[in-house]
Copies of this chain bind each other. A is one copy, B any other.
């Protein structure tokens, strides 16, 4: 199943959002535009804008209002990617040179800041203080999540709670807010707003856990980077935490990771053998089940169907 099939119905609205996204980064500052547009063209699933649109379908669907929400939230996501790359020292993202690799770190940092500032300017086009507030808080949380991630790098003693809080902030909250703000921009009820928020949150958790699994199980071609990159860079994710529960996996993995050039295929094998991947998949499943449960409160059947298809897509993802 391809996400694009789910999107087909929303295709022209998504294209409209894409155009708005491009225009939002129009600036006479050449370097800034290059670095931003560079990211835009590197593609991406645009799952967040889709969540915004589907959220809107639960109210008085209004693309003129939804576009501000969709663009603002996608810009926040892009800003974190740009800053992430400064932190991760990544050379490629989605198979293209990162902003960081292409230009000075310093430009990347301010490009990220600019994109973030743009997102706020855009959300202000909706004269809705509540929406501004929710967006502001979500940016806060994303920043905290990123800082927590830096602090947790190479920390072999971290626990599950640390991990879940981190991915909640880094990923799930923004998805929750996409669904919720899409709804609020279209005047949904409090009950719908809450259901949308929780759907997005649970799906976001499942989505990130799946991403973290795929970092071990995917190929370099699929991932756009070598398998095990997260772990190599010190980012300890759920498959590893689950693997560590089993036998002497923990000692063996840490021992190998402390080598100057860890043998990643060997480490990945250890994690798979210990059941770390399978256990993590089960956790993702639990979140997907919660997401589907949250959907029951939604009244708009068409968006409910599409949200449901998205959960099935996440379940079946292998790249």
Chain A residues within 8 Å of B, Cβ to Cβ: 27, 29, 31-32, 83, 86-87, 104-107, 109-114, 116-118, 120-121, 123-125, 127-129, 132-133, 136-137, 139-140, 142-144, 146-148, 150-151
Interchain CB contact (< 8 A) of A86 among B109, B111, B127, B148: B109
Integer count of this chain's copies in the complex: 2
Residues of B within 8 A of A116 (CB): 113, 116-117
Residues of B within 8 A of A136 (CB): 117, 120-121, 123-124
Write the chain B residue with the least CB distance to A27: B144
> How long is the Cα–Cα vector from A71 to B159 in the complex, in angstroms?
36
Residues of chain B contacted by A31 (CB below 8 angstroms): 147, 151
Q: Report the Cα distance A113→B116, complex, angstroms.
A: 9
B32 with A110: CB separation less than 8 A: no
Docked-complex contact A114 and B140, CB < 8 angstroms: yes
Q: Which residues of B contact A133 (CB under 8 A)?
A: 121, 124-125
Report which residue of A110, A123, A148, A150 has the largest number of chain B beta carbons within 10 angstroms of its beta carbon. Answer: A110
The minimal Cβ–Cβ distance linking A158 to chain B, given in whole angstroms, is: 15
Closest to A113 in B: B143
Complex Cα distance A293/B110, Å? 35
Shortest CB distance A86–B (Å): 6
Best-buried of A29, A117, A124, A128 by chain B (most CB within 10 Å): A117
A sample of 4 more A-B contacts (CB under 8 A), given A110-B143, A124-B133, is A87-B109, A105-B105, A113-B116, A114-B143
A227 to chain B, nearest CB (A): 24
